[in-house]
Amino acid sequence: MGARAAVLLMFVLFLLADLAAGWLSVPGLTGFGFAAASAIAAGRARREDLLIVVVTPPLTYLVAVTCAELINAHADHAAISVSSIGAGVFLTLSAAAPWMFAGLAGAVAIAAVRGLRQCVRDLRAGPSGRAER
């Protein structure tokens, strides 16, 4: 799968995991969802797209958590304010931090086995095809 499909897959899995964690009252599910989705995307992406797939999970997760907080606030018929959404996002990210670290490390390890070094070399070579020193 390409980079766009992998990022979209991560977003959907992050969002579903965060919504399920809130509805089932299992806070660890959101972090596990991050680790699992990052590993799946790193394992399924094309080799030339591995660098993008390894770099984007934190930002994609932030967007998914923000969307989940907005959905939960709307579903609870609560007043939506920037401070309440921001507090929910901050608490979710801080609770999932160990999972995020482990999930990102796992995704980098999977990508390294699959050819991440070549992606970095290609990036350093630039459009001219020559490696800079």
Orientation angle between helical segments 97-114 and 116-125, nearest 10 degrees: 80
For the whole model, what pTM was predicted?
0.80
Q: What is the pLDDT of residues 7-65, one digit of tens each?
A: 999 999 999 999 998 888 888 888 899 999 999 998 888 888 888 889 899 999 999 99
Domains of the chain, residue spans: 3-125
Comparing CA positions, the residue from 96, 116, 125 lying closest to residue 31 is 96
Report the 10 Å Cβ neighbour count for 126: 10
pLDDT digits (tens, 9 = 90+) for 103-118: 999 998 998 888 877 8
Residues 6+ apart with CB under 8 A from 84: 73, 78
Q: What is the residue type of 42?
A: A
Cβ(42)–Cβ(50) below 8 Å: yes
